[in-house]
Amino acid sequence: MNTVSPEPAASGASPRVVVLAGGISHERDVSLRSGRRVAEALRSAGMEVTVHDVDADLIPALTDTHPDVVWPVLHGATGEDGSVRDVVELLGLRYVGTGPRGSRVAWSKPIAKTVVSRAGLSTPDFVTLPQSLFRELGAGRVLEAVVARLGLPLVVKPSRGGSALGVTLVRDAAALPRAMVDAFAYGDTALVERAVTGRELAVSVIEETDGPRALPAVEIVTDGPYDYDARYNPGRTEYFAPARLTEPETAAVMSAAVEAHRALGLRHLSRTDLILDEAGVPQFLEVNVAPGMTETSLFPQAAVAGGLDLPSLYRGLVTRALA
């Protein structure tokens, strides 16, 4: 085994793992909660775990302690766009999850949509509008053209983001300018796509020795939009794990998630968000390389629904990172 710090892992002693959690992003709090959960599970699987934030102490801590594996449980920004993973690679360390290149592609919703649609998946029609272009061409004219082409309702979201921050469902053209402003608050480019009606599903994928496989789909039912509040405050959202699907629907959504994982070059774990439309077609919305791991998160719910025990699953992912 060609590990950076081979002694503990190679001798069969428990690997030393550093879980990265926190970071500077709008999803910092969620990441801290996710990181704590992952660390607890790994500890109960017998691993030696430290949780570290992404700050000026991180590089010295990693170079001094040389952990066997790093697990970036960072949502949003540098945790998911590949840059933290680039740094971990620069330090010659092994890590759980997708590499920098796959992360970069997945983190950009329009790029990920383009890649998966080339691989044959369906994804809602869309346009991307950088704020500068929007200004240069005149907001009114651009939005008129968007509505003429894509129709209504539309969903406006930051082209890179998470936790439904800056996402608006627009039913009426008059509400579009406001939705654009809300998306631009989270980044320079907005993605405007056709709204899909159907059942909202999250399909997690894990890699085992024989390649990626989907865990049972989790169905999300909310009393309104599946926004930040509905995600992290218990009570507003009901989850069905496994989702209430027919056998062919189950097969379709599972294979869509595995296909997205493969087409995007993802590694170890991912979670694809999709809507199973009224015609029974899975419509890809986005994929997450660092899915939420909090107590109410979809990835752990899927694992439990699949009969997996979280400490063993997470230990398995660390072992894959070491292999």
Ligand X SMILES: Nc1ncnc2c1ncn2[C@@H]1O[C@H](COP(=O)(O)OP(=O)(O)O)[C@@H](O)[C@H]1O
From the annotation, which residues make up the binding site for Mg(2+)? Answer: 273, 286, 288
The C-alpha angle 11, 13, 14, rounded to 5 degrees, equals: 140
Applying CB under 6 A, among 129, 183, 196, 264 the residue interacting with ligand X is 196
Q: Is 39 in the site for ligand X (CB under 6 A)?
A: no
CA–CA gap between residue 4 and residue 70 (Å, rounded): 12
Nearer to ligand X, 193 or 219 (CB): 193
> Judged by CB under 6 A, which of 285, 287, 289, 298 binds ligand X?
285
> In angstroms, how far is CA 285 from the centroid of its own chain?
11
| Contact status, residue 23 vs residue 31, Cβ threshold 8 Å | yes
Residue 3 neighbours by CB under 8 Å, 6+ apart? 9, 10, 68, 94, 322
The distance of closest approach from Cβ of residue 119 to ligand X in the complex, given in angstroms and rounded to an integer, is 18
The one catalytic residue in 31, 108, 163, 270 is: 163
273 binds Mg ion (CB under 5 A): yes
User: Quick check: 270 binds ligand X (CB under 6 A)?
Assistant: no
312 a catalytic residue? no
Question: Total number of residues binding ligand X (CB under 6 A)?
Answer: 18
Given the residues 27, 80, 193, 249, the one annotated as active site: 27
Residues in region 138-177 near ligand X by CB under 6 A: 155, 157, 161-164, 167
Phi, psi of 54 (to 5 degrees): -95, 95
Q: Which stretch binds Mg ion (CB under 5 A): 8-16, 180-188, 271-279, 297-305?
A: 271-279
The interface partner of residue 193, options being Mg ion, ligand X, none and the CB cut-off 5 to 8 Å by kind, is ligand X
- 195 binds, options ligand X, Mg ion, none, Cβ within 5 to 8 A by partner type: ligand X
Closest-by-Cβ residue to Mg ion is 273
Check: CB of residue 71 under 8 Å from CB of residue 318.
yes
Tokens standing for 108?
Answer: 């950009």
Nearest to 17 by CA among 116, 75, 81, 93: 93
Q: Confirm whether 297 is a catalytic residue.
A: yes
Question: C-beta of 307: minimal distance to ligand X in Å?
Answer: 26
Q: How far, in Å, CA of 74 to CA of 313, rounded?
A: 19
103 is catalytic: no
Q: What is the nearest approach in angstroms of Mg ion to the Cβ of residue 81?
A: 15
The structure tokens 């010295």 sit at 60
Per-residue string for binding with ligand X, 220-259, x by CB under 6 A?
------x---------------------------------
Give the C-alpha separation, 41 to 67, whole Å.
Answer: 18
Please report how close the Cβ of residue 296 comes to Mg ion at its closest, in angstroms: 14
Helix, strand, or coil here: 275?
strand
Q: What is the largest CA-CA distance in the chain?
A: 66
For residue 29, what are the contacts with CB-CB under 8 A and spacing of at least 6? none
Least CB distance to ligand X at residue 274 (A): 9
Positions annotated as catalytic residues are: 27, 163, 297
